[in-house]
Structure 1
Amino acid sequence: MALKLTKDSLQSEEQSLQNFLDELDPNDIVNRASIAKRLEVVRTELATMTDELETQGVVILAFDGFPVEGSRGIDAEFAADALHDYQELIAKQIGERETGGLSRTGPVPSRDLARLNITNVVHGSFGFQLEEKDSGQTSLVPSPVKEAITQVDNMLAALASPDPETFDDALASIDRRMFITVQSFYENLYNDSASLKIIESSRSIVLDNSLVARARERLHGTVVNDEDFATKGELLGISPVQRRFDFREEATGRIISGQVDQQLSSQYLARLHGDQIAPGQTYTALMRRRIAVRSDGSERESFTLTGLDTPTDLLSPESRRLPKA
C-alpha cells in the first residue's frame, strides 16, 4: 500500500512538473534546466518501481466534503458510521462466501476473520488505512479479506456506475443483508455531502458527489425480494470469465440467463465451459430469482445460478415450475 501511495504521488508530481515546464518561458534557461532535471529523476523512479505483491487485506478510505476539515480532522459521528458500514460489508461478503449465503437474521459467520484495524491516518483529504488483523502473516495467495475488499469495492463502484446495466447486474448479485448495509453506506455519504476515494494496492476508485448521489437515488426506496427454486433443463452455455449462464428450462422452454454465484469456483465453470457440456444433457439447476422494486414502482427480474448437477431423481412438478414474473 505504501508503494501505491508513493507511485500516485510521483505520477502527480510528474504531471505538475510537465505542465510547469510547458508553460515556462523558453528563454528561462536556468529554471527550465532545474525543472527538467527533477522531471527526469521522477520519471526514473517511476520506471524502476514494480508492483508490490500484496496478499493481505489493506485499503484506504479517503473522505472529502462537508464532514472533512482539510487535513485537520473529520466529523467523528460521520466517520464512525462510514467505517462501521464498510466493516459490515466486508464481514457479510466473507460470511456469504464461507457459508453459501447469509441467513435472513442472526450473527454473521466468520465475523472475527473479517475484522479490520485502523493502522494509519492519511492526510490530503482525510482518510483511514484499514488492514486485516493478521496482515503480518506471509502468504502467496490473496487472503479472504483481501478478496472481500476487492469484491465490495467493485460493488460500490458498480452501484454508482453511469451504465444502468452495470448497476442492475450488481443489484442482482447483492445478498439481501448486504443490500441493507450498502443502502446505509451511501445514505450516510449523501446526507453529509461527502465524497470518497478508495485506494487499494494497485488501483483507486473515486466516488465523487455526483456518483454518490446517483447510487443513493437508485438504492433509496428500492426493495428486493428473493426466491430460491430448482428446475431441470439444458445448459446452453456458461462463461467462466464473465460468470454468466444461459439455461433452457425443460418445463416451460423458457431460456433463463443471468449471473453465476460466487460459490461456484472458476475452475468448475471452466470445466463446464469445455467439452463436458453436451447438447441435450439434462441438468438440475438451483437458481435464485430476484425481483427489485424501485421507488417509482418499476420492477426488474434477475436470475443467479447457485448450483448445478445432473439429476439423480426426478424433480416434483412443483420444484420444476419456474416462478411467474
Structure 2
Amino acid sequence: MPRKLKLNSLTSDKYAVEQLLSEAIEYGDVVGELQYREKLEKLNSEILLLKNANETHASVALFFGGEPVLGSQGILASFAGNVLDNFQELINKAFASKENGSLGERGKIPLKANSNLMVTQVAKGSFGFILDEISDQLEITETALKHTVDDVLELIDASAQPNEEKFEKLIESLDKRVLQSLKDFFITLDKAHSTMRLVGDELEYCFDSSFIHRARQRTEATEIDEDEELVRLKVLGLLPEHCKFEASTSEGKIIYGSTTRLAAEQFSSDLIGKLVSVNLMTKSIKPLHRPERVVYKLLEFIDKN
C-alpha cells in the first residue's frame, strides 16, 4: 500500500481521537482522557515512523468514480479490466523506455516481467485497486520500477492540467509507444465517463471528468515521429551523470539533447572534439496549439575512431 494512503488513514484516525480527547476533557472523563492521550501518542509515533521510513518498492492506488462505479459496492468488470490493463501497459513501456533508451516501432516490450505490478488489495471509498511491486529481494535503495511509477503518475497529472507547459516539457523525452499507451488510458477513462484519484508514495492526484477529457484531447492531438539513423558527429560535450550531449553535424549545425544510459556508459573524455559514428534518434513533436519542434537523442556510439 502506498505510504501516502497509509498516512491519510493514520491522520484521519488522529483527527478522530483528538476530537474524542477534547470531548473527554470537556466532560471531565479522566479515564477516557488517559486512554485517548495514550492512543494519540501511539498514532503520532506511527505517523513519524512512516514519514521517516525508506520505501523502496513501487506502490500505487487507483480509485475510480463516475458512471462505471456503484458507490463503494462495485465497479464494472469490463471497465476495471481495461483500465488496469492500460495502466500496466503504460508502466511496462515507460519502464522499458527508461531502461533501454528506445522501444522501437513495434514488437514485444522489453523487460516486461521486471515491471509488472500485482493487485494486492481492493480499496473502497469510491472503488479502487492497490497495485504493488512484489519482490523477494530486500532493497536498500528505491527500485527502478518505483521511479518509473512516480514518473508515470507525474506524466498523467501533467497531461490533464490546464497549464500545458509541464506536459510539453515531459513529452520531449517520451517514447512514441509510451504516448500511445497514455492516449489509450485516457480514452478508456473518458469513454466510460469515469473520474479518478491516484495515490503514490508521497503525492496524490485527483481528476474529474473535465480533467480526463482535457487529457484525452491533448494526448490525441499530440504526435511524435521518430527516425533513427547512423550519422557522423563531432562530440562537443557529454555529461554522463545527466545523460546530456552537445555535438556538431557534418554540415556544422550544433545540436544537443539527451543520451541513453548505454551511450553515457560508452562515453569517455577522449572523445571530445572527435568525429564519431553514432546511432541518433531525431524526434519531431507536434503538440496541440504549439509549433512543431525537434529533439535529439544519442542512442549509442557505433564507431569511436
TM-score in terms of structure 1 length:
0.73
Structure 1 residue 250: Cα displacement: 4.1
- Taking structure 1 as reference, are residues 88 and 263 closer, same or farther at Cα in structure 2, changes over 3 Å only? farther
Q: CA deviation at 1:225?
A: 0.9
Look up the match of 2:71: 70
Contact 2:4 2:203 in 1 (8 A): no
Q: Does the 8 Å CA contact 1:159/1:171 hold for their aligned counterparts? A: no
- Say whether 1:219 aligns with 2:219: yes
Aligned pair in 2 of structure 1 residues 31, 211: CA closer, same or farther (>3 Å)? farther
Which of 286, 298, 302 pairs up with 1:305?
A: 298
Gaps of 5+ in 1: 313-325
**Secondary structure of 1:86's match?**
helix
Matches within 5 A, 1:1-325: 1=1, 4-14=4-14, 29-30=26-27, 37=37, 42-97=43-98, 99-132=100-133, 134-200=134-200, 202-209=201-208, 210-229=210-229, 230-236=231-237, 238=239, 240-241=241-242, 243-245=243-245, 247-261=246-260, 263=262, 268=265, 276=269, 280=273, 282=275, 284-294=277-287, 298-308=291-301, 311-312=304-305
Helix, strand or coil for the counterpart of 1:112?
helix
Q: Do 1:97 and 1:263's aligned partners in 2 also have CA atoms closer than 8 Å?
A: no
| 2:120 match: secondary structure | strand
Give secondary structure in 2 for the equivalent of 1:113: helix
CA change 1:144–1:39 in 2 (3 A) is closer
Q: 1:146 to 1:297 in 2, by over 3 A?
A: closer
- Cα deviations across residues 128-151 of structure 1 (Å, max 9, x unaligned)? 12234x534433344454343233
> Which structure features the higher share of helix residues?
2
- Contact residue 226 and residue 281 of structure 2 kept, 8 A: yes
User: What amino acid sits opposite 1:114 in the alignment?
Assistant: S
Of the structure 1 ranges 81-90 and 188-197, higher mean CA displacement relative to structure 2 is found in: 188-197
The alpha carbon displacement at 1:121 in A equals 0.4
Q: Which ranges in structure 2 are unaligned for 5 or more consecutive residues?
A: none
Q: TM-score, normalised by structure 2?
A: 0.77
Q: Is the 8 A contact 1:54 1:142 kept in 2?
A: yes
Distance 1:32 1:255, change over 3 A: farther
Report the Cα distance in structure 2 between the residues aligned to 1:31 and 1:226, rounded to whole angstroms: 72
- Cα pair 1:234 1:250 within 8 Å, conserved: no
CA contact (8 A) 1:235 1:283 kept: no
Say whether the 8 Å CA contact 1:176–1:224 is kept in structure 2.
Answer: yes
Q: Relative to 1, partners in 2 of residues 1:110 and 1:50: Cα closer, same or farther, differing over 3 Å?
A: same
The one-letter code of the counterpart of 1:109 is P
Q: How high is the sequence identity, in percent, across the aligned residues?
A: 26
Contact 1:235–1:277 (CA under 8 A) maintained in structure 2:
no
